[in-house]
Structure 1
Amino acid sequence: MLLNVSYNNKEITRKIDEEVGKPFPLKERWALGGIGSPKLFITEASLEIRNLLILDNNLDSCNVELRPKGIIVRFRSLLETFALVIPYYKLTIYKGDFAVYSIYRDHYFIKVRSDTKAIQKFFKKLMDYKADNAPTNIEDL
């Protein structure tokens, strides 16, 4: 689900919380060692996301936020902020050649450079958390 989250809209916030859960409380954020990624530079994206990114001439970047039932990939275009909301059961991550991670949800995807140890450490934390907390059968959804 690709959403414009630039403005404080209760309906959009409710949709996001329903899909990936409410944000972690402060105590859990400390226990996880942080829930946000470093700045990620986008190398490639699906058509809908690419059409948003080419509207301005800024360097394409995003960040990832961990949630209890999924992740949120946020990026900016012009003066708007967009969020790609991905529950764990729809999340697919590939580590490709040339230090690139690919994040997929259905027909949306974003490929980011993983040229630092901090980025690789964050994706390892994300995959470990997904393995421990993703639903194992349909009743868990």
Structure 2
Amino acid sequence: MLVNVSYNNKEITQKIDEEVGKPFPLRERWAMGGIGSPKLFITASSVEIRNLLILDNNLDSCNVELRPKGIIVRFRSLLETFALVIPYYKLTLYKGDMAVYSIYRDHHFIKVRSDTKAVQKFFKKLMGLKADNTPTQIDDL
């Protein structure tokens, strides 16, 4: 689900919370060592996201927020903030050659550089959370 989250809209916030859960409480954030990624530089993306990113001349970057049932990838275009909301069961991660991570949900994708140890550590944490929270059987849904 790709949505504009620039404005405080209760309906969009409710949809996001239903799909990936409410944000972690402060105590859990401390225990996890943080829930946000470092600044990630986008190297490639799907057509719909690319059309948003090319509207301005800024460097294409995003960040990832961890949620109990999924992740939110946020990026800016012009003066708007967009979010790609991905529940763990629809999340597909690939680590490609040349230090690039690919984040997929259905037909949307974003590829980011992983040139620092902090980025690699974050994606390792993300893969662990995905493994813990992905249902293993149909009955688990």
CA–CA distance in 2 between the matches of 1:139 and 1:56? 46
- Name the aligned partner's letter for residue 85 of structure 2: V
In the other structure, the counterpart of 1:87 is 87
- Name the aligned partner's letter for residue 17 of structure 1: D
Secondary structure at the residue paired with 2:37? coil
Q: Could you list the per-position Cα deviations for residues 63-101 of structure 1 after superposition, in whole angstroms to 9, with x for gaps in the alignment?
A: 000000000000000000000000000000000010000
CA–CA distance in 1 between the matches of 2:114 and 2:94? 12
Counterparts in 2 of 1:1-141, with a 5 A limit? 1-141=1-141
| Displacement of 1:9 | 0.2
| Displacement of 1:138 | 3.0
CA–CA distance in 2 between the matches of 1:26 and 1:138? 32
CA–CA distance in 2 between the matches of 1:102 and 1:108? 11
- Name the aligned partner's letter for residue 61 of structure 2: S
Count of aligned positions = 141
CA–CA distance in 2 between the matches of 1:122 and 1:58? 24
What 5-or-longer segments of structure 2 have no aligned partner?
none
Secondary structure at the residue paired with 2:129? helix
Secondary structure at the residue paired with 2:6? coil
CA–CA distance in 2 between the matches of 1:28 and 1:134? 19
Secondary structure at the residue paired with 2:119? helix
| Displacement of 1:139 | 3.6
What 5-or-longer segments of structure 1 have no aligned partner?
none
| Displacement of 1:133 | 1.7
CA–CA distance in 1 between the matches of 2:19 and 2:139? 15
CA–CA distance in 2 between the matches of 1:19 and 1:136? 18
| Displacement of 1:136 | 2.1
| Displacement of 1:134 | 1.8
* Identity within the alignment, %: 89
TM value normalised by structure 2: 0.98
CA–CA distance in 2 between the matches of 1:140 and 1:22? 20
